[in-house]
Copies of this chain bind each other. A is one copy, B any other.
Amino acid sequence: MQISELARRTGVPVATVKYYLREGLLPQGELTGATRARYGEDHVERLRLVRALLGPGGLSVARARAVLAAVDTPDTSVHAALGAAHRALPGVGAEGPADLEQARSVLRRRGWRVAEDSPALVALAGALEALRAAGAAPTDELLDRYAEAAGRIGEQDVAEVPTGSVAEAVRFVVVNTVLLEPVLLALRRLAQEDASRRRFPGDC
């Protein structure tokens, strides 16, 4: 198919498809002449993935490129792909060396072991720092309960990774890591709304 059909089938403007091609988010089509290229079903699928990462996933073009690079590298291990996805996710704008102590203590109590320079660890420390700066320092009890719930989810995420092929597993990890975040946040808000309705009945 030509670029116009690729654009039509995905609802993405042609100019934008060209932009993604230039930015390396979408592989080049097969050139059939100096002014013609052919695109296939895999381009449709890839383009949809790109749009999902950029839109709901909330990634920047640069971060999406990094994520997709992991998807495209055939010899990536699953664990490495997870790391790549985590590095690509917007953590908290790490300014200066945040205080990692409270973050580490949560991990210790849970028995979790992660890389020394894990971006998620830095992100957690930054988020805690922000809470303290806003005058709402979280207690260890609160963090532990959050960690327990998060642990259940993370455990399940990893357990579900398919073992068929590495490429399939890597794609699964990347998509689920990024695109299930908004799902989790939305569910938390819905749970809050329901709990709030029950606790403050008069306010509806």
Using CB atoms and an 8 Å cutoff, list the residues of chain A in contact with chain B.
45, 48-49, 51-53, 55-58, 77-80, 82-83, 86, 89-93, 106-107, 110, 112-115, 118-121, 123-124, 126-131, 133-136, 138, 142-143, 145-161, 172, 175-177, 179-197, 199-200, 202-204
Most chain B CB neighbours (cut-off 10 Å) among A119, A177, A184: A184
Q: Identify which of B56, B93, B153 contacts A55 (C-beta below 8 A).
A: B93
Q: How far is the CB of A5 from chain B (nearest CB, A)?
A: 18
> 3 closest A-B pairs (Cβ-Cβ)?
A154-B191, A79-B203, A150-B187
A contact patch SS: helix
Q: How far is the CB of A101 from chain B (nearest CB, A)?
A: 15
A90 partner residues in chain B, CB cutoff 8 A:
58
Do B145 and A156 touch (CB < 8 A)? yes
Do A193 and B86 touch (CB < 8 A)? yes
